[in-house]
């Protein structure tokens, strides 16, 4: 999982070729902390994607611009264009995230 250090670095991943999953999270978020330990497995099972972890509090302007009102949330960007999103404030299981990603492979 890649963790961008600043908005410029995040923007590079948005514009990059390929499939990227932006995982919006926050340290205080219980539901984020529930799914976070499963992320290495999710990444391994979805190797066609590159995963980027975005701290919603560090990148609040980006979260607002992207309409991320609940976390944890996942946004898929392929070749600079959004192709899918799983954005809400509900707890997500590994199975739910994998099922979501299967729809955009």
- Evaluate if residue 84 carries a pLDDT over 90: yes
Residue 11 belongs to a domain = yes
CA-CA-CA-CA torsion sign (64, 50, 9, 80):
negative
Output the pLDDT for position 42: 98
How many structural domains are present in the chain? 1
Residue 41 belongs to a domain = yes
Compute the average pLDDT of residues 60-79: 94
Residue 1 belongs to a domain = no
**Residue 92 near residue 86 (C-beta atoms within 8 A):** yes
Residue 42 belongs to a domain = yes
Please identify every residue annotated as catalytic. 29, 32
Q: Rounded CA gap, 25 and 36, in Å?
A: 9
- Evaluate if residue 53 carries a pLDDT over 90: yes
Residue 76 belongs to a domain = yes
Q: Model's pTM, two decimal places?
A: 0.93
Q: Which of 31, 47, 87 is nearest to 63 (CA)?
A: 87
Q: What is the domain-level CATH number for residue 97?
A: 3.40.30.10
- DSSP type of residue 58: T
pLDDT digits (tens, 9 = 90+) for 5-44: 999 999 999 999 999 999 999 999 999 999 999 999 999 9
Find the domain containing 59 and state its range.
7-102
The pLDDT mean for the chain works out to 95
- Evaluate if residue 58 carries a pLDDT over 90: yes
| Residues making up the chain, counted from first to last | 105
Residue 2 belongs to a domain = no
Compute the average pLDDT of residues 81-95: 91
């Amino acid at each position: 999982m890649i963790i961008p250090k600043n908005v410029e670095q995040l923007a590079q991943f948005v514009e990059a070729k390929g499939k990227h999953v932006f995982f919006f999270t926050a340290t205080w978020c219980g539901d984020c902390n529930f799914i976070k330990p499963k992320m290495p497995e999710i990444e391994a099972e979805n190797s066609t994607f590159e995963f980027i972890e975005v701290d919603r509090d560090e990148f609040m302007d980006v979260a607002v611009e992207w309409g991320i009102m609940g976390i944890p949330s996942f946004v898929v960007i392929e070749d600079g264009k959004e192709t899918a999103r799983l954005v809400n404030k509900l707890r997500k299981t590994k199975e739910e995230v994998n099922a979501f990603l299967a729809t955009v492979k």
